[in-house]
Structure 1
Amino acid sequence: MENVIDMLWQDYQKTEFLLTQPLSNDFSFAIVTAHNPLGSVLTPSQNRLRDRALQSKILEYRSPYRCLIGAAPDLSHMEKSWAIFIDKDQALELGREFGQHAIYYVNQGLLSLIACFEPHRDEVPMGLFHQRLKLVSDLPEL
């Protein structure tokens, strides 16, 4: 099982983000998804139900948020995600609640990957968030 997680961990580090508008570097935010918990591939309808539950939870924070898509560089895999203006601890708690191996966190424009369940994994710096950002006019339907 560790090999599968290691492979996923490598894939997570290649993720790019599709947004309809840029986000400011002035604020820290988390990027969290509810899709495909713990690496299991769910149906689109199962993922939509999980996403609605995540959005309801996000509303409880009473913080700004934006929809975005986390995607493989070739767009062969995409997951609806949310940029949420919450702190790192809240983001990790949210990631764990929705069964995610990891979350992304952006602080002063710098993107990092953080494990939700494996404290021995170091936070992985991934460079400038805007370099992984692709602005699109509309987000794809998933």
Structure 2
Amino acid sequence: MHIKNKYCSQCTENLIYKWNGSPHDITYHTLLPILPKIISGRCEKCNAKDTIYNTDIVWKRTTNINTKLTLKYWGLQLLYQQQHKHNRNYTKGYPYYCEGWCKYCKNLINISAFYSKNTPPYMSNCIECGPKVEPYYETRFIIKQYDNSWPKTFAIISGYATTGQKWTDTTNCNSDHKLHKLISSRKKWAQRLIGYSPTTGHNEPSWATNFSIADACYIGKIFMQDAIYYVKNNKLLLIYCNDPQRQQFYVDQFRTRIDLHNKIIPDKKSTKL
């Protein structure tokens, strides 16, 4: 393989720092230890004799994967195609540790993610927050009724402020109205449901609609959503809107996450079915 840029650790780190965006995007310097490298050689930038890193790979990965993905998911996608230095593949469920920003309190922390098809990623080691499961994985849904009239595959999209964001009631309602209007203009099947967290009480009125995955993610991005749910033959899947690979994370059986509206209703004025 031809390597265009062969830089030492310091020059590679400077290169990544220079490219790095806001602290809530990816902190690329934390990936330095796992980048493909040549054991030893001279840096093409400063001519120092050092461990040489293949910076072609850095740029290939960073330009092909959307930087709005949180660090752990980006790192996992990177390692999905690479072997760990201990010759273990993260796709088999090997724990992955790196540095990142806690999405709850915004502190710089160590992130541990455990990836497998049936296990949600975990964020831990934050002094302020302690271990937490991604809120998307504990979501339950309030529905008036769920029967055979529902399609076997459908997306769940919200127009309300995504987890961690705060909008006014007016902004939330206007966004929800625009989303419903968009769904209606496409003449798509639609049903109202409310996704809520049994832990925090956070809830988002949403729409179940039979868009394709690609269309649902595109609409999710329009309405500033981090992710959408997709139900496929009763499997509840989580898909991040900014993920170009549309990777599907299994959450649970959809039927087990349903609450009829007369059993549980979150305490919020605007959550009317």
> TM-score, length-normalised on structure 1?
0.86
* Cα deviation 1:59-79 (Å, max 9, x = unaligned): 122121100101001461111
1:4 counterpart SS class: coil
Residues 151 and 210, structure 2, Cα contact 8 Å, conserved in 1: no
**Aligned mate of 2:206, from 81, 87, 100:** 81
Residues 159 and 176, structure 2, Cα contact 8 Å, conserved in 1: yes
Residue type of the partner of 2:177? R
Q: What is the root-mean-square deviation of aligned Cα atoms in Å?
A: 2.6
Does 2:217 match 1:92? yes
**Aligned mate of 1:22, from 146, 149, 165:** 146
Which stretches in structure 1 are left out of the alignment for 5+ residues? none
Residue 107 of structure 1: aligned partner: 232
Aligned structure 1 segments of 4 or more residues deviating by more than 3 angstroms: 5-9, 23-26, 118-122, 137-141
Aligned counterparts of 2:230 and 2:147: Cα–Cα separation in 1? 13
Larger radius of gyration: 2
After TM superposition, give the deviation of residue 9 of structure 1 in Å. 7.9
Residue 4 of structure 1: aligned partner: 103
Residues 38 and 99, structure 1, Cα contact 8 Å, conserved in 2: no
Greater RCO (Cα-Cα under 8 Å, separation 6 or more): 1
Aligned counterparts of 2:229 and 2:175: Cα–Cα separation in 1? 18
Residue 55 of structure 1: aligned partner: 180
Does 2:250 match 1:125? yes
After TM superposition, give the deviation of residue 118 of structure 1 in Å. 3.2
1:104 counterpart SS class: strand
Q: How many residues align?
A: 142
* Cα deviation 1:51-97 (Å, max 9, x = unaligned): 01111111122121100101001461111100001211111111111
After TM superposition, give the deviation of residue 124 of structure 1 in Å. 1.1
Alignment of 1:24-39 (within 5 A): 24=148, 26-37=151-162, 39=164
> TM-score, length-normalised on structure 2?
0.47
Aligned counterparts of 1:121 and 1:95: Cα–Cα separation in 2? 13
* Cα deviation 1:100-119 (Å, max 9, x = unaligned): 00000000111000000134
